[in-house]
C-alpha cells in the first residue's frame, strides 16, 4: 500500500521575529525528516510553490503560519480553511485562498496558526513561540496534529 504524503507549507517572514514561526517549524521538521511529510519552506511567497501542487496534488496540504487570534503567545490552533484569506497575518503577496482555489478542495487543506508575541524586526523567535514551533513539529512528525484545538478553544 502506498504511503500517503502530506505537504506542509511553512510560511512567514524570518526577519520579523515571531512571524517566522512557520518557517522555523519547517526547519525543525527538515532536521529530522519523516517519509510521510513533504516540507516546503515558502517563507513570504507561497505563490512560488503552487505549480508543484498543481502537477501532483497532495492528499493533504497543511499550512503553518503566524496568526493573530487573540490568544496567548505560542498558542497553536487549527483554523478554518474557508477563511483562508483572512486568517493569516499576511505578509505574503497573494491571498492564500486565491493561490489554492483551483488546486485543492478546501477539505484537503489544513491551516495551523501560531499566536505571535512580537513581529518587530528580529531574527529570533520569542521563547513561547519557539516552544510552540517545537511542539507542532513533534505533533506533525507523530501524526498528532489533528488533535490540536480549534479556533475557539
Which regions in the chain score pLDDT beneath 50? 87-90, 92
pLDDT at residue 85 in the model:
63
User: Which domains are assigned to the chain?
Assistant: 6-120 (3.40.50.1450)
pLDDT of residue 102: 82
| pLDDT of 151 | 75
Q: Can you give the pLDDT at residue 142?
A: 95
What is the pLDDT, as a whole number, of residue 83? Answer: 67
Q: Whole-prediction pTM value?
A: 0.92
Rg from Cα positions in the chain: 14
Q: pLDDT tens digits for 84-122?
A: 665 444 454 667 887 888 889 889 999 999 999 999 999
* pLDDT, position 98: 79
Burial readout 37-63 (b: 16 or more C-beta within 10 A, e: otherwise): bbbbbbbbebbebbeebeeeebebbbb
Query: Which residues touch 33 (CB under 8 Å, ≥6 apart)?
Result: 39
Amino acid at each position: 500500500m502506498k504511503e500517503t504524503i502530506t505537504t506542509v507549507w511553512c510560511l512567514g517572514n524570518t526577519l520579523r521575529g515571531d512571524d517566522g514561526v512557520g518557517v522555523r517549524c519547517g526547519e525543525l521538521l527538515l532536521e529530522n525528516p519523516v517519509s510521510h511529510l513533504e516540507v516546503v519552506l515558502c517563507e513570504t511567497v507561497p505563490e512560488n510553490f503552487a505549480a508543484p501542487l498543481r502537477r501532483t496534488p497532495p492528499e493533504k496540504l497543511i499550512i503553518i503560519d503566524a496568526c493573530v487570534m487573540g490568544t496567548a503567545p505560542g498558542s497553536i490552533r487549527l483554523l478554518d480553511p474557508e477563511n483562508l484569506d483572512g486568517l493569516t497575518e499576511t505578509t505574503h503577496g497573494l491571498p492564500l485562498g486565491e493561490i489554492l482555489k483551483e488546486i485543492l478542495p478546501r477539505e484537503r487543506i489544513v491551516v495551523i496558526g501560531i499566536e505571535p508575541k512580537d513581529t518587530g524586526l528580529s531574527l529570533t523567535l520569542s521563547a513561547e513561540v519557539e516552544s510552540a514551533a517545537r511542539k507542532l513539529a513533534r505533533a506533525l512528525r507523530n501524526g498528532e496534529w489533528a488533535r490540536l484545538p480549534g479556533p475557539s478553544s
